[in-house]
Amino acid sequence: MSHELLTSAEMGEADRLTIAAGPIDGIGLMRRAGQAVATEVLSRYPSAAHVHVLCGPGNNGGDGYVVARILAGSGVATTVWTSGPPRPDSDAALAAAECPIKPRPLSDFDAGPCSIVVDALYGAGLSKPLSGEAARAVDLAAKLHLPVVAVDLPSGISGDSGKVLGTSFSADLTVTFARKKPGHLLLPGRERCGEVVLAGIGIGDDVIARLQPQTFENGPALWSRGLPVPAVDAHKYKRGHVGVFSGGPSATGAARLSALAAARSGAGAVTVLSPGNAMQVNAAHLTSIMLRKADDAADIEAFVGERRLSAFVLGPGFGIGEKTRAFALVLLASGKPAAASTGIGGLVFDADAITSFREAPDILFEAARGPGAPALVMTPHEGEFARLFADIADDNVSSKLDKARAAAARANAVIVYKGADTVIAAPDGRAAINSNGAAWLATAGSGDVLSGITAGLLAQGMLAFEAACAAVWIHAEAGSRFGPGLIAEDLPLAIVPVLRDLVAAGGGR
């Protein structure tokens, strides 16, 4: 298992626990880290005329001295440029002492053609914006178009937030250790890392497990065991029933996209719940998807009472206002012990269901906390997120990860904070960062499909955080594989080969 992501504090603790358990000591970890980077440099740039290793004063620089020693020992022309000597008696000082190359000051850094840069200035210990000679080195490497191999992280990128502090290298390759860090996946960090290679340096899985990490890279390892696969004796309602609320006569398409996606993700039955005046237009476009009138709370309660396991999508194309708020609150109250035992698998609130609560988000949050309230997944894009969580969105210090977590805790809901680096956060503190998407997904209606997939998985009994993570990954994978020309109508069918691969790989068993 290597899908856990470690904060810099957790990585430091992993380091400490490993050293305390022995037999590897601090310089031992550093030698392995430097060796891993040197191996990548040698295999990927066999014809580099010159390697410039930029070493900072901390352990990141220490790794750099190990890289320089190994490269020089392999006959590569190597220069070390340093921004300051390591602290006496540190592991980095030991690594510098073992390196036969006399360092030159970083302020003199220059490079000729066919050179590459190994960036070992700052990693997990980045504490302030890059400036002065480090910023100059960043500019020069960019100006000369030098390939950059970053040690642990490109200097200037925060490992915890993915933010750029001042300026940063844009690496072609980043070699990190033991586990990836959030900054490798959150933007803009992800873009600045280039390809990320994970190197084992002797920090054991048992050590990582002791840290109980709460942040993950989203992928099948996180949820494939919970992926629904129909039992031999399944019938359609056992496979879950999804209800998708449609907007009025001129806004019905979003609900149908969502409904189709719910059906493709395995829900045995899907019903579009339509205002009476939009029944005809919906009926004209539906075949396997069922249709039912839902004009008021009584219609919803009647439908909810009929089916055992079910999930609902409210929001896409639905319209903003009092009716939306009323429907949302009825759904959130429908699992109360006083009501019929409905077995609602969960609710997905998207788009207008989110925006409708912008003036009074606490009403929504309180309802989501009510006794027996069904599990709630909300799927805001950046604009919708800011409507519901204005203060959290305005915080310029917090990362997207922090923001999604804070929102999930406040709303008592799984928050899918969408974008090119979608973060999925649960109220219990777990969070996952998604990275398999592609910009082809930025097309109208794409989010409606995501809501439908999420509801389809919830209706089949998947737990809310796992269902949301799975839906985000499957949606992103389908979009990435489809590529150019993708429109939202393509997505429900494009998830089929993704699901087939997941089931073939043993998902759900």
Ligand X SMILES: NC(=O)C1=CN([C@@H]2O[C@H](COP(=O)(O)OP(=O)(O)OC[C@H]3O[C@@H](n4cnc5c(N)ncnc54)[C@H](OP(=O)(O)O)[C@@H]3O)[C@@H](O)[C@H]2O)[C@@H](O)CC1
Ligand Y SMILES: Nc1ncnc2c1ncn2[C@@H]1O[C@H](COP(=O)(O)OP(=O)(O)O)[C@@H](O)[C@H]1O
Q: Point out which residues bind ligand X (CB under 6 A).
A: 11-12, 14-15, 29-30, 33, 56-63, 122-130, 134, 151-152, 177, 201
Residue from the set 283, 439, 496, 505 that interacts with ligand Y by CB under 6 A: 439
Q: Any contact of residue 418 with ligand Y (CB under 6 A)?
A: yes
Q: What CA–CA distances, in Å, run from 454 to 230, 348, 372, 415?
A: 17, 7, 20, 12
Name the residue nearer to K ion (CB basis): 58 or 456. Answer: 58
CB of 179 to ligand Y, least distance (A): 23
Torsion of CA 476, 480, 481, 482, to 10 degrees: 100
- Distance between CA atoms of 224 and 505, rounded to whole angstroms? 9
453 near ligand Y, judged by CB under 6 A: no
Nearer to ligand Y, 215 or 422 (CB): 422
- Cβ atoms 224, 502 nearer than 8 A: yes
Polymer length of the chain: 509
394-413 footprint of ligand Y as x/- string (CB under 6 A): --------------------
Cβ neighbours of residue 27 under 8 Å, at least 6 residues apart?
91, 94, 95
Among residues 57, 152, 55, 142, the alpha carbon closest in space to that of 101 is found at 55
Does position 422 bind ligand Y by CB under 6 A?
yes
* Beta carbon of residue 242, minimum distance to ligand Y (angstroms, whole number): 17
By CB under 6 A, is residue 256 in contact with ligand Y? no
Shortest spacing between CB 493 and ligand Y, in angstroms? 17
Residue closest to ligand Y when measured from CB atoms: 447
- With respect to ligand X, which residue has the nearer C-beta, 33 or 471? 33
Q: Which of 381, 400, 403, 430 binds ligand Y (CB under 6 A)?
A: 381
Shortest Å, Cβ 63 to ligand X: 5
Contact status: 445 vs ligand Y (CB under 6 A): yes
Q: By CB under 6 A, which span of 215-223, 333-341, 423-431, 433-441 interacts with ligand Y?
A: 433-441
| Closer residue to ligand Y, CB minimum distance, 257 or 344 | 257
Report in angstroms how near the CB of residue 30 gets to ligand X at its nearest: 4
Of 226, 209, 217, the C-alpha closest to 193 is: 217
**From ligand X, ligand Y, K ion, none, interface partner of 420 (C-beta below 5 to 8 A by class):** ligand Y
Asked if 487 interacts with ligand Y (CB under 6 A), we say no
d(CA 118, CA 54): 6
Q: Does 448 bind ligand Y (CB under 6 A)?
A: yes
Among 167, 218, 274, 446, binds ligand Y (CB under 6 A): 446
Q: Which one, 92 or 314, has the nearer CB to ligand X?
A: 92
206 neighbors 175 (Cβ within 8 angstroms): no
Strands 104-105 and 195-199: unpaired
Q: How far is it, in rounded angstroms, from Cα 31 to Cα 26?
A: 9
Please answer whether residues 119 and 148 qualify as being in contact, where contact means their C-beta atoms are separated by less than 8 angstroms.
yes
Select the span of 129-137, 175-183, 419-427, 493-501 touching ligand Y (CB under 6 A): 419-427
36 vs 150, beta carbon nearer K ion: 150
119 binds, among ligand Y, K ion, ligand X, none (CB under 5 to 8 A by kind): K ion
Task: Please give the residue ranges that form the binding site for K ion (CB under 5 A).
Answer: 119, 123, 150-151, 155
Is 94 or 344 the residue whose CB approaches ligand X more closely? 94
422 binds, among K ion, ligand Y, ligand X, none (CB under 5 to 8 A by kind): ligand Y
Least distance from C-beta 283 to ligand Y, angstroms? 23
The sign of the dihedral angle between the CA atoms of 36, 41, 42, 43 is positive
Q: What are 117's two structure tokens?
A: 């840069």
Residues 6+ apart with CB under 8 A from 260: 270, 289, 449, 452, 492
Q: Which residue in the block uniquely carries the two structure tokens 């008592």?
A: 412
How many CA atoms, within 13 angstroms, populate the side-chain half-sphere of residue 18?
A: 24
Partner interacting with residue 446 (select from ligand Y, ligand X, K ion, none; CB below 5-8 Å by kind): ligand Y
Nearer to ligand X among residue 62 and residue 240 (C-beta): 62
> Which residue lies nearer to ligand X by CB, 124 or 470?
124
Alpha helix (H) residue ranges in 378-463: 382-388, 390-394, 400-411, 446-459
> Which member of 14, 116, 450, 491 binds ligand Y (CB under 6 A)?
450
Name which of 208 and 353 has its Cβ closer to ligand X: 208
Pairing of strands 414-417, 423-425: antiparallel
Distance CA 15, CA 10 (A): 9
Going by C-beta distance under 8 Å and a sequence separation of 6 or more, which residues neighbour residue 351? 254, 315, 316, 317, 318, 384, 447, 448, 451
Place of tokens 């059906």: 263
Instruction: List contacts with ligand Y (CB under 6 A).
Output: 351, 381, 418-420, 422, 437-439, 441-442, 444-448, 450, 475
